[in-house]
Amino acid sequence: MNLELNQGMVAAFLTLIGFSVNDTVVVFDRIRENIKLFKSESIFTVMNKSLNYTLNRTIITNGTVFITVLILLIFGGEVNRSFAYTFLIGIITGTYSSIYVAGAFVVDAKNYFDKKKKPAVRNAVVGKA
């Protein structure tokens, strides 16, 4: 497919950035809420529960947009083709990043900062008061 960068593609990129950031914020917010609710659970379990809670919303929202943009790609004509094609690819990658990358990022970040905290506590000197 031979597409040139035009205003439709730029509009699709900007819309996708907002769309993907919104989805990722929803996942991060649910993880943040569930960390407080499930304090005794591991971060991996909390992340898994949070993704399960948001998965239905993410699939319905992105699936609806995907179907709409697919119809626009098929029936929209040559003028809308670059916008629809860019948006279609962006919906797929944005959904992937919201579901798989955001949760794994939280787990990795939590493990990294927990490892950083432990040596300082372990090497602390206890003195008399």
How many CA atoms lie within 13 Å of 91's alpha carbon, on the beta-carbon side?
19
Task: Say whether pLDDT at 41 is over 80.
Answer: yes
User: φ, ψ for residue 43 (rounded to 5)?
Assistant: -65, -35
For the record, the structure tokens of 104 come out as 């794994």
**Ramachandran class of 82: left when φ > 0, alpha when ψ lies in -120 to 50, beta otherwise:** alpha
Gyration radius (Cα) of the chain, Å: 21
> What is each CA distance from 6 to 9, 88, 98, in whole angstroms?
5, 16, 27
Percent of the chain topping pLDDT 70: 90
Model confidence band, residue 6 (pLDDT cutoffs 50, 70, 90):
confident
Task: Say whether pLDDT at 120 is over 70.
Answer: no
